[in-house]
Structures are given as C-alpha cells and as structure tokens.
Amino acid sequence: MSTVSVTITVNGKTQTAEVEPRTLLVQYLRDNLGLTGTHTGCDTSQCGACTVLVDGVSAKSCTVLAVQADGSSVTTIEGFAPFGTLHPIQQAFWEEHGLQCGYCTPGMIMTTASLLARNPDPTEEEIRHELHGNLCRCTGYHTIVNAVRKSAELLASGAEPAPIDQVAGN
C-alpha cells in the first residue's frame, strides 16, 4: 500500500514524514513523533482524550487523518508551554484539583485553550456545554469547570507561563 508525504509543524517544529494514508493524527503524534501526552480513550470520537490544537483550534486527533493535517500547525500538551513552565491553564488545573488519574487532562486543557481563545469569559453553563466532547470519569467535572473559570481569570489578568517550581506550593 502506498504512503503519502505529510509535513506538519508540531509544537513549532516542522517535520516531513511518509505515512500510510490511514494513519490517524493521534497515531502520527504518538508513534512517529513520540509525543505520548495525547491519549486515546475511545474509538468513536466521544471522549476527547486525544484533543489537540490544529491551527489553534481544538480537534480530536483520533478523527483526523495525519494527511488531513498536512501543512497545519499542531500543538500538543508537550508544546503547550515552554519546557519547564506551566501555561496559566495548566496552573489552573493544578490549583483547582481539576484532575485525578490525568488521562483526560491533556485533552481537557486543549479544549479549554480553544474555548477561551474564542470566548475569554465563559459562564459556567457555557463551559459545561463546551466540555461536551471531553469525558472525565474521575472528577464529576466540578473541579474541571472551576479550572476553566480559573484559567479565564488568570489569562484575563495577563498571566504567562511560569516555571513549574515557581507555581508549586500554595
């Protein structure tokens, strides 16, 4: 079976690879590039664990072929903030206990980023609506919603990525 050439800028780095057309973006990110922070939680694009940003907008990388992302710029959790720092959204998820097992968390963070880029000050109802495509089995969503609210507040106040050890503690 033939392969196709894809050139995708992932976390700022442009790379070209030959892939089978059927290669999903999530498989390309995980298997070809070793970016395993993006997870797979279902087969049917319900769970959102695989959510990444494609050209700044949330996309379920299990329902996008790598070749469909050819020429795009993809951000995964690994490239979401400069290495060693936490993006304000990450800070908020930590601060608000917005995660337990952590499996859905990278996807939740990506969806949050996409939401806040479009709507910087969402209501609780809007947040819950926008999280429809991201499933969490641990938290009951309560603290995730709080984390999204907190993210909005931090971003509105001009917060920037900060070194992990500086945002550690309480």
Q: Which of residues 50-69 bind another protein (CB under 8 A)?
A: 51, 57-60, 62-65, 67-68
**Residues near another protein (CB under 8 A), total:** 83
DSSP lists the bridge partners of residue 65 as: 24
- Of 115, 123, 168, the C-alpha closest to 149 is 123
Q: Could you say whether residue 11 binds another protein (CB under 8 A)? A: no
Sign of the alpha-carbon dihedral angle for 72, 102, 142, 165 = negative
Shortest distance (Å) from residue 51 CB to another protein: 6
Q: Could you say whether residue 35 binds another protein (CB under 8 A)? A: yes
Q: Could you say whether residue 48 binds another protein (CB under 8 A)? A: yes
Shortest distance (Å) from residue 21 CB to another protein: 4
Q: Could you say whether residue 2 binds another protein (CB under 8 A)? A: yes
Q: Could you say whether residue 73 binds another protein (CB under 8 A)? A: no
The site string for another protein over 100-139 (x = CB under 8 A, - otherwise) reads xxxxxxx--x-x--xx--------x--xxxxxxxxxxxxx
Per the CB < 8 A criterion, the answer to whether 106 and 37 are in contact is yes
d(C-alpha 151, C-alpha 130), whole Å: 15
Shortest distance (Å) from residue 72 CB to another protein: 11
Helix ranges (DSSP H) in the chain:
25-27, 88-95, 105-118, 124-130, 142-156, 164-167
DSSP lists the bridge partners of residue 57 as: 54
Nearest CB to another protein, comparing residues 97 and 121? 97
